[in-house]
Amino acid sequence: MRRAASSRARSWTSRPPRVVGTVGRWLVLLLLTLSATALGQSAAVAATEQCAPTGESACINGTIRTAAGEPAVGVALTIEGEGQELAATTGPDGRWSASVTSAGTYSVTLDEGTLPAGETLRDPANNPREVTVELGASRPALFPLGAPAEQAPDAGDDDGAEGPGGGDQPDDAAGEPGEEPAGVGTSSSGGVTMTRFVQQLVSGLIFGLLLALASVGLSLIYGTTGLSNFAHGEQVTLGGILAYMGVQFWGLPLVVAGTLAVVLAAASGWFQDAAIWQPLRRRNVGLVQAMIVTIGLSMALQYVFQFFFGAGPLRVVTSTPTSVSFGPVLVTRQTVASVIIALVTLAAVSYFLLRTRTGRATRAVSDNAALAAASGISVNRIIRVVWTLGAGLAGLGGVLLGLYLGAARWNSGGALLLLMFAAVTLGGLGAAFGALAGSIVIGLVVELSSLWIPSDMRYGAALVILILVLLFRPQGILGRATRVG
Amino acid sequence: MPTDSAVRALADVPREPGAAKPDPIVVADDVVRRFGGMTAVDVQHVEIQRGAITALIGPNGAGKTTFFNLLTGFDKPSSGTWTFEGRSLHGLPAARVARKGMVRTFQLTKALSRMTVIENMRLGAGSQPGENLFTALVPPLWRAREREITEQAEELLVRFKLDHHRDSFAGSLSGGQRKLLEMARALMSKPTMVMLDEPMAGVNPALTQSLLGHIQALRDDGMTVLFVEHDMHMVRHISDWVIVMAEGRIVAEGPPETVMQDPAVVDAYLGAHHDTDLGDDALLSDDVAEQLEAEVQAEEEKR
Amino acid sequence: MDWTNLLVNVAGEIIAPTTAAYALAAIGLNIHFGLTGLLNMGQAGFLLLGAYGFAIATIAGWPLWAAVLAAILAAVVFALILGIPTLKLRGDYLAIVTIAAAEIVRIVGRSTTLTDLTGASSGLRGNSYKHTFQDASPFPDGTWELGPFEYAINASNSWWIRIVGWGVVALACLLIWLLMRSPWGRVLKGIREDEDAVRSLGKNVYAYKMQSLVLGGVIGAVAGIIYVLPRAVQPDAMGRSMTFFIWTILLLGGAATVFGPILGSMLFWAALMLIKLVMRGTVPETVMRSEQIEQFGWIIVGITLMLLVIFRPQGILGDKKELAINAH
């Protein structure tokens, strides 16, 4: 979900326009036309990504910590020089960075008003400060915080005043302006609305299809157990991170790493049901209780990921993918392969549900677990299968989305969770095929809405749809009305 | 046993579906409820006599509970109108229906288990100013009414023999006691009509007699009672009038003694049991009816 | 390791404004969940709206009381918009919708389109909206020391915000105490148990749920004001994780109790601080970097939430027989 920000920063600062219109580029153009502030802001977000210097670019960066040593979040900086003006904001870890495209001297200004409560610059005279950079290198610009000689009162703040603000790594994923899929582009960079429409349409279909992999699992789990699994997003993250580890740590070929990631993700589903959910069912823990357990699990897993892999993007593949064009739409080979894999997988899942004995038993459990149990189906076995299948599908979704969107990240699945819920609700809670249809709709809404509303609000558009569906058709698109009481 | 007045009032009513009653409290016309493609309820015309105990019977899936839900505002009809005491209830939400004096109970008892018996009872009462958010903050404004309510609740608890359980959690009561509590709670609002959805379901036989007595007492206090029931024994013993539903329609009406012999009823009820001879009057004795009912239910569950 | 300093820090956390803000937010959630059984998974949205309402109104030059009113109004409107479609639906739908709605607030708030109003993702600086609150303080400026605690009297993370914060918490407690003992609270409790039963008794369940949603949301909005007064309005710091912390706090202290949210908040923040300080003092930097210690703390929070819900769902102060959780 996230590589986007940094890639986009690069695409508009360093890459020549020959990188023919990625979606990101389009949206940058859109943002550019919006306002200068908008530009500054989007760059600010981009800058929280860790910048990596290339032959044509250089980085200016730093980490800002409070007097107490906590990272200072949300501090705004402006970088000016060599005909460029950039903005940066410190991320949750207090780090900031900016990517510049020409060597020279830049002046970095820290906006003191954005410092956390009670914090001041130790050396206010040294703001702005000058930094000289060379291409292909990183240069730090440091701004130590602390008590300057004459002002003391608030400097000795206890950590409490920062609360989670200092350490909280909130779920800032959804709606970030930088998240642009890198897999699709057009062959023309003109402003033809039709071309843009077609391109967004294709992006939406692809995104929806990949999202469906995750949503179908969520829906199956809801259908068979009644559980709204808030930790399903972490299964998606797990897939992406495992693929990242396979390729980047163990040096496996992408296909092997991806397969391994899916297998391990499925195994994690099996294990999760065996270790947590089945014991809870046996204890007769209620659904609301179990739902809150999934929330705790989601929180714990997100920070486990962050603990081991940090907050930055984890790029599964670093090489530039090759593209093929279909009419006006340019798609990378990788994306074509992903779409084929997703289609084949979803077809296989449909076959499983409709034609195999276990699949039919699964649907029977979804319809009425007690009745299914009475007719000799081992409900616990089916639920175990569903957890394994659901986690495996989510893992595959994580791998493919990681490739499509450029990178996996500690919260990439969590950011998609609400879109999955929207898809599942849209299709009627618990209906696997509904989830598939719902995902496509959500994918289209997310991508097409950015034609009319600012792209950083497009996840919001999907969530508005979710609420509207609940308002007018709570049983979902494909669901049936049932008798009350 | 049916009281004379109710029996007398209904004596001249024709034994046919949709028959007009001398003093109807509820009149329903063309009430239809569809779920997807299935029509669950399609009642052309029905009237419920005031001050009588009317039973609504029929095989499972006949639409009794759905019709009940529609009348009490717990479900919305696809079309149709009905009045209660001459005023239309169409489109009124359940709570407003209840405040108009038509109070119901549920097939699966809805005692509020984690509240005490007395709190359950107090909740049943109407016009407590303390139920308003702002008044609630000033206890003197609602203390007096609270005392009245508590008194009324305690009387009812004594009448329903629940006074020993006053401060226990409702969840600790037996199934039958919960039914009693639910009925007592419904009476807290002093309703004019009480709608009981399967009052006998899950009740220990030892309590059956007292429950029957309570229902008759309601009528003797001037209330109208409509109940859905599977227990033919109960239908025979306490109802003044029986309405039979099948496949969403009303197929027969009449006093309990005669309605059972109506061929439409036999068809409706026992359509699936043609291997049994139903012409025999003895067959409609309580025991047999009960047994058949059990069979129908068992089949229903298998499905 | 300096144990005195550690204890002072942990104790300081107990009276910190953040702790008060979270306690207040949990009290609001307690009205939703503990009293009415509503699964509000978007409490942070109310806090964020309250914070925005207050900060934006103050920056526009409104006086303190009007800015607070703006925050409250924002919460009321949000609750109404949220409640109308969802309060008639099943519980888990409400959970999904509230979490989505809170997310929408955050997405819109951090959108670059609204930079002039909300400051987009970098938010609003504390200094731009603190002054009316600080000016309202009756105390002289300077710092004041009470035992080991020394804070500024009025400026940002001050005694003044502590006094007001905990004062509001105390008022909210009184309110809950009164309401829980009133017939109004009884209706809510009935709804928590079985709303159809309450409907059959002639109560307008929808209206009661709406009142509960609005009241708890308004308390959340006020908590949002207290939360941002010693810092800045940062949309990304007030997202899903904030909601989950509030839930953990409520369930830790005990839902449907008067003092549960306060105890929960104090324990939560003090324990977190204790873990962090002890680990910072004992675990060498080579084993765990300081941000990893931070993350380790949140992992523990997640696991605590799981264990709590499974093994002690009534929390510390709750009564198992009157367990609020899982009523349906």
Q: Is A459 on the interface with C (CB under 8 A)?
A: yes
CB contacts of A485 in chain B (<8 Å) are: 65, 69, 74-75, 106-107
Q: Which chains have 3+ CB pairs within 8 A of A?
A: B, C
> Looking at the predicted structure, is the pLDDT value of residue A481 above 70?
no
Give residue C180's identity as a one-letter amino acid code.
Answer: M
Q: Which residue of C has its CA nearest to B119?
A: C186
3-class DSSP state for residue B246? strand
Map residue A24 onto helix, strand or coil.
Answer: helix
Distance between A94 CA and the closest CA of chain C, angstroms: 10
Which residues of B fall within a CB distance of 8 Å from A484?
A: 69, 74-75
Instruction: Give Cα separations from A110 to A90, A139, A143 (angstroms).
Output: 11, 16, 8
Do C215 and B133 lie within an 8 Å CB cutoff?
A: yes
Cis peptide before A128 (omega within 30 of 0): yes
The domain that holds A394 is classified in CATH as: 1.10.3470
Among candidate residues B273, B207, B257, B260, the one with its CA nearest the CA of residue B57:
B260
Q: Are B173 and B117 in contact (CB under 8 A)?
A: yes
Q: CB distance C321–B114 less than 8 Å?
A: yes
By DSSP bridging, strand A138-140 and strand A58-63 are parallel
User: Which pair of structure tokens corresponds to residue B170?
Assistant: 């409702």
CA distance from start to end of chain C: 49
Q: What does the pLDDT read at residue B237? A: 84
Last residue of a domain, one of A94, A125, A146: A146
Q: What's the pLDDT score for residue C253?
A: 92
Burial class of residue C143 (count of CB atoms within 10 Å of its CB; 0-12, 13-18, 19+): middle
Classify residue A176: in a domain, yes or no.
no
Please name the residues in contact with A300: beta carbons below 8 A apart, sequence gap of 6 or more.
Answer: C298, C299, C301, C302, C303, C306
Residue B249 in tokens = 């329609």
The Cα–Cα gap between C104 and C78 comes to 11
User: Which residues of B are less than 8 Å from C172 in CB distance?
Assistant: none
Residue A377 located in a structural domain:
yes
Which range (A261-275, A322-336, B63-77, B207-221) has the least confidence?
Answer: A322-336
Distance CA B171, CA A152 (A): 61
How many of the other CB atoms lie within 10 Å of CB of A80?
A: 14
- Pairs of CB atoms within 8 A across A/B: 20
Q: Is residue A484 part of a domain?
A: no
Q: Name, in order, each residue with C-beta under 8 angstroms of C283's C-beta and a sequence gap of 6 or more.
A: C293
Residue A154: pLDDT band with limits 50, 70, 90: very low
Say if residue A451 is in the same domain as residue A326. Answer: yes
Interface check for C201 against chain B (CB to CB < 8 A): the answer is: yes
Q: Does A115 share its domain with A220?
A: no
CA-CA distance, B77 to B33, in Å (whole number)? 5
Q: DSSP 3-state helix, strand, coil percentages of chain C (rounded to 5)?
A: 70, 5, 25
Reduced to 3 states (helix: H, G, I; strand: E, B; else coil), residue B40 is strand
Please give the distance of CA A460 from its chain centroid, rounded to a whole number. 14
Domain total of chain A: 2
- Picking from B128, B110, B107, B214, the residue whose alpha carbon sits closest to that of residue B170 is B110
Residue holding tokens 């329609």?
A: B249
Burial of B90 (0-12, 13-18, 19+ CB in 10 A): middle
Identify the residue whose tokens are 């950590």: A159
% of chain B with per-residue pLDDT over 70: 87
Measure Cα distances from C300 to A161, A302, C272 in Å.
21, 12, 9
User: Cβ distance C17 to C161 under 8 Å?
Assistant: yes
In the beta sheet, which residues pair with residue A106? A131
CA atoms of A472 and A184, how far apart (whole Å): 34
Q: Looking at the partner chain, which of A41, A463, A471 has a beta carbon nearest the beta carbon of C104?
A: A463
Residue B274 — pLDDT band, cuts 50, 70, 90?
A: very low
Using CA atoms, how far apart are residues A256 and A391, in angstroms rounded to an integer? 18
Q: What is the pLDDT of residues A325-350, one digit of tens each?
A: 777 777 888 888 899 999 999 999 98
Select the more confidently predicted residue: A168 or A251.
A251
* Chain C residue numbers touching B122 (CB-CB < 8 A): 183, 186
Residue B3 pLDDT > 60: no
The domains found in chain B, sorted by start residue, are 4-110+191-302 (3.40.50.300), 112-172 (no CATH)
**pLDDT confidence of A466, banded at 50, 70, 90?**
confident
Partner-chain contact B124 C203, CB within 8 Å = no
- Where a domain ends, among A89, A116, A146? A146
Residues 318-377 of A with CB under 8 A from C: none
Say which CATH number the domain at A21 has: 2.60.40.10
Amino acid letter at A2?
R
pLDDT given at position A172: 39
For C178-190, b where at least 16 C-beta lie within 10 A, e where not — what string? bbbebbbbbbbbb
Dist CA C55 CA C316 (whole Å) = 36
Q: Is the Cβ of C218 closer than 8 Å to some Cβ of chain B?
A: no
Contact, C256 vs C80, CB < 8 A? no
Pick from A118, A470, A484: CB nearest C85: A470
CB contact under 8 A, A485 and B65: yes
Please list every residue in chain C whose beta carbon sits closer than 8 Å to the beta carbon of residue A469. Answer: none
The answer to whether the Cβ–Cβ distance between A304 and C299 falls below 8 Å is yes
pLDDT tens string A175-209: 333 344 444 544 444 444 777 888 888 889 999 99
Domain boundaries, chain C: 3-322
Residue A236 scores a pLDDT above 80 = yes
> Which positions in chain C touch B185 (Cβ < 8 Å)?
201
Question: Is the minimum CB–CB distance between C326 and chain B shorter than 8 Å?
Answer: no
* Nearest Cα residue in chain C from B149: C183
Are residue A110 and residue A241 in the same domain, yes or no?
Answer: no
Of B130, B169, B182, the CB nearest to C183: B130
Tell me the fold of C3-322.
ABC transporter involved in vitamin B12 uptake, BtuC (1.10.3470)
From A454, which residue of chain C is nearest by alpha-carbon distance? C113
Cα separation, A151 vs A166, whole angstroms: 22
Alpha-carbon distance A224 to A209, whole Å?
A: 23
Residue B40 has pLDDT above 90, yes or no: no
Please spell the DSSP secondary structure of A93-131, one letter per residue.
Answer: TSEEEEEESS-EEEEEEE-GGGSPTT--BS-GGG-SEEE
Whether the CB of B172 is below 8 Å from some CB of chain C: the reply is no
Lowest mean pLDDT among A73-82, A355-364, A372-381: A73-82
More confident: A320 or A22: A320
pLDDT class of A354 with cuts at 50, 70, 90: confident
Q: Which of A295, A418, A420 to mutate to test the interface with C (most CBs of C within 10 A)?
A: A295
Three-state secondary structure along B3-19?
CHHHHHHHHCCCCCCCC
How many other C-beta atoms lie within 10 A of the C-beta of residue C230? 30
**Residue B261 amino acid letter:** Q
Stretch among A359-363, A478-482, B275-279, C304-308 having the lowest mean pLDDT: B275-279
In a domain, A483, yes or no: no
Residue A22 predicted with pLDDT over 70? no
pLDDT at residue A467 in the model: 79
**Which one of A121-125, A155-159, A367-371 scores highest in mean pLDDT?**
A367-371
Q: What mean pLDDT is predicted for residues A123-129? A: 70
Is the pLDDT assigned to residue A46 strictly greater than 60? no
Is the Cβ pair A117, C17 closer than 8 Å? no
User: Rounded to a whole number, what is the distance in Å from the CA of C246 to chain B's nearest CA?
Assistant: 25
Query: Which residues have a Cβ under 8 Å from the Cβ of C48 and sit 6 or more positions away?
Result: C102, C105, C106, C109, C224, C233, C235, C238
- A117 to chain C nearest CA, in Å? 4
Which chain C residues are Cβ-neighbours of B188 within 8 angstroms? 201
Q: Which residue in C has a C-alpha nearest to residue A306's C-alpha? A: C295
pLDDT, one tens digit per residue, over B177-205 is 888 899 999 999 999 999 998 888 777 77
Task: Test C183 with B128 for CB contact under 8 angstroms.
Answer: yes
Mark the ranges of chain C whose per-residue pLDDT is less than 70: 1, 90-91, 321-328
| Confidence label for A43 from pLDDT (cuts 50, 70 and 90) | very low
Confidence band for A483, pLDDT divided at 50, 70 and 90: very low
- The length of chain C in residues reads 328
| Contact call for B94 and C200, based on CB within 8 A | yes
Mean pLDDT of A73-92: 73
Amino acid B262: pLDDT: 81
CB of B75 within 8 Å of any CB in chain C? Answer: no
Stretch (H or E) spanning B49: strand B38-49
Instruction: Report the residue of chain B nearest A371, measured CA to CA.
Output: B302
Nearest to C305 among A41, A285, A296 (CB): A296
Q: Residue A147 pLDDT > 50, yes or no?
A: yes
Look up the domain containing A352 and give its range.
184-472
Structure tokens at C229: 């007064």
B104/C contact by beta carbon, under 8 A? yes
Q: Please tell me the distance from the alpha carbon of residue B68 to that of residue B45, in angstroms, as a whole number.
A: 15
pLDDT of A274 higher than 90: yes
Which of the four pLDDT bands, split at 50, 70 and 90, describes residue A44?
very low
Euclidean distance between CA atoms B247 and B267, whole angstroms = 12
Which of B113, B130, B189 shows the shortest C-beta gap to C201?
Answer: B189
Which of the 8 DSSP states describes residue A108? E
Closest residue in chain C to residue A33, using alpha carbons only = C113
Same domain? For A194 and A139 the reply is no
Judged against a pLDDT cut of 70, whether residue B28 lies above it is answered with yes
ipTM of the complex: 0.87
Q: What is the C-alpha end-to-end distance of chain A, expressed in Å?
A: 43
DSSP symbol at B198: S
Residue B27 contacts by C-beta under 8 Å, 6 or more apart in sequence? B45, B46, B47, B48, B82, B83
The predicted pLDDT at position A118 comes to 59
Distance CA C129, CA A264 (A): 50
Closest residue, chain C, to A43 (C-alpha)? C112
Alpha-carbon gap, residue C162 to A98, rounded angstroms: 38
Closest CB to B114 among C175, C178, C193: C193
Chain C nearest-CA residue for B194: C200
Sequential DSSP letters for B224-277: EEEEE-S-HHHHHHH-SEEEEEETTEEEEEE-HHHHTT-HHHHHHHHGGGTTS-
Which of B36, B75, B107 minimises the CB distance to A484? B75
Do the domain assignments include residue A88?
Answer: yes
Q: What angle do CA C281, C285, C287 make, to 5 degrees?
A: 105
Measured between beta carbons, the chain C residues lying within 8 angstroms of B142 are: 182-183
Q: Choose among A122, A129, A162: nearest CA to A145.
A: A122
Relative to beta strand A184-186, strand B193-197 is: unpaired
Mean pLDDT taken over chain A = 73
Let me know if residue A158 belongs to a domain.
Answer: no
Question: Which segments within C159-249 are labelled E, that is strand?
Answer: none
Which residues from B are below 8 Å from C184, CB to CB? 130-133, 135-136
